[in-house]
Structure 1
Amino acid sequence: MKIDTIINQPVIETERFDLRPLRKSDKGLVEHYSSDERVARMTTSIPHPLPPGMAEAFVTRAMSEDRDEDTWAMDGTKDGGPELMGVISLKKMDRNQTEVGYWVAPIFWNTGLASLAVQALVEANPLDNATMFASVFQDNPASARVLTHCGFEYLGDAESFSVARDTTVPTWTYSRKL
């Protein structure tokens, strides 16, 4: 695995794809995929329907030098795939910890993409964290399997509000010491 830094966020290279910082040209695919109700319903923050300008605001925030979350595109161009197949992020927390978040476009579900992206991010540990956390909705066991496959351990049950569902949803919380 090779890591190169662009601006103040690294590019993380894997054999199949690269995790690279978002760029303005990603807006269209971010909008296309995140407007899919199946994607939005598995996140806490993506509304459905997706309001105009939301994808552009997301990309702009991700590109900001003073952001509190580093976001990478899962870019498959090195293997003949599209520039954006999903996104993965690390939200900064206190005590040298981060929270991992990710979504994958439905066309790439069940291909191992999420597991490879999470594993690459864990191995690179670009923010030199002591611990990474992640939460998934309990009705999304595929995402829970991604986390356990990547060495995350179950911590407990909780709940989070889902904007797309307009309700609080039970979650499973996981952590990984690095």
Structure 2
Amino acid sequence: MKQPNIETQRLILRPFCDNDAPRIAELAGEKIIADMTANMPHPYEPSMAIEWISTHQSAFEQKLAVVYAITIKGDNRIIGSVSFPQLGKGEGTLGYWLGVPFWGSGFAFEAAKGLIEYCKANLGLRIVHAVHFTENTRSQSVIEKLRIPFFEETTHLVKGAQCPVRVYKGDV
């Protein structure tokens, strides 16, 4: 089964392709992106992006994960990513990042909302988990706008260090 595009008011969520690798490396390679995500390497090389992209289709077919490129309608260049990198038994862990030039425009919320609606309708999603570093107030804002209930504050082992995080979990 081919992963379909998802259309929102301003965005097209589409599968990544190998041609996106340089753009992924450019946007995701900014240190602030790596600092605000649990598993984004820095520096980020195009070869890493190609390797990552190569995992998407089989994970989608097995319903273990779903990963989308975020693009603005009328412009096929990616501005970020939205995903459920962990998906199963009706539960998914939400993940997303946006290139710095696209922060503050509501794109992360719009993309996440579109992906949640798609997964609820097509992949049996019932419960969404979301986690952000405590100091990442931008991510906190996205999660709160999605109305995912706060669950707990804890720490997670990230890149070799215990980091304070806020965890959210709730029905969609």
Given the two structures, how large is their TM-score scaled by the length of structure 1? 0.85
CA RMSD of aligned residues (A): 1.9
Match of 2:51 among 54, 57, 63: 57
Which residue of the partner structure matches residue 65 of structure 2? 69
Which residue of the partner structure matches residue 94 of structure 2? 100
Unaligned runs of 5+ in 2: none
**Would you tell me which structure has more helix in proportion to its own residues?**
2
Match of 2:158 among 141, 155, 162: 162
How many residues are aligned here?
Answer: 168
Contact conserved, 2:63 with 2:88, CA < 8 A, in 1?
Answer: no
Matches within 5 A, 1:20-169: 20-50=14-44, 53-64=47-58, 65-66=61-62, 68-76=64-72, 78-79=73-74, 81-125=75-119, 126-163=122-159, 166-169=160-163
Which residue of the partner structure matches residue 3 of structure 1? none
Superposed displacement of residue 67, structure 1 = 7.4
Compared with structure 1, are the counterparts of its residues 114 and 52 closer, same or farther at alpha carbon in structure 2 (3 Å cutoff)?
Answer: closer
Q: Distance in 2 between matches of 1:149 and 1:127?
A: 22
Deviates more, 1:15-24 or 1:124-133: 124-133
Compared with structure 1, are the counterparts of its residues 67 and 22 closer, same or farther at alpha carbon in structure 2 (3 Å cutoff)?
Answer: farther
SS of the aligned residue for 1:56 comes to: helix
Contact conserved, 1:160 with 1:170, CA < 8 A, in 2?
Answer: yes
Q: Distance in 2 between matches of 1:174 and 1:10?
A: 28
Q: Which amino acid aligns with 2:151?
A: L
Contact conserved, 1:12 with 1:121, CA < 8 A, in 2?
Answer: yes
Q: Distance in 1 between matches of 2:77 and 2:34?
A: 20
Contact conserved, 2:13 with 2:68, CA < 8 A, in 1?
Answer: yes
Compared with structure 1, are the counterparts of its residues 143 and 93 closer, same or farther at alpha carbon in structure 2 (3 Å cutoff)?
Answer: same
Contact conserved, 1:89 with 1:101, CA < 8 A, in 2?
Answer: yes
Superposed displacement of residue 160, structure 1 = 2.3
Q: Which amino acid aligns with 1:128?
A: G
SS of the aligned residue for 2:143 comes to: helix
Contact conserved, 1:135 with 1:172, CA < 8 A, in 2?
Answer: yes
Superposed displacement of residue 9, structure 1 = 2.2
**1:172 and 2:166 equivalent?**
yes
Compared with structure 1, are the counterparts of its residues 145 and 17 closer, same or farther at alpha carbon in structure 2 (3 Å cutoff)?
Answer: same
Unaligned runs of 5+ in 1: 1-6
Compared with structure 1, are the counterparts of its residues 51 and 23 closer, same or farther at alpha carbon in structure 2 (3 Å cutoff)?
Answer: closer
Contact conserved, 2:79 with 2:99, CA < 8 A, in 1?
Answer: yes
Q: Distance in 2 between matches of 1:62 and 1:28?
A: 17
Q: Distance in 2 between matches of 1:141 and 1:26?
A: 28
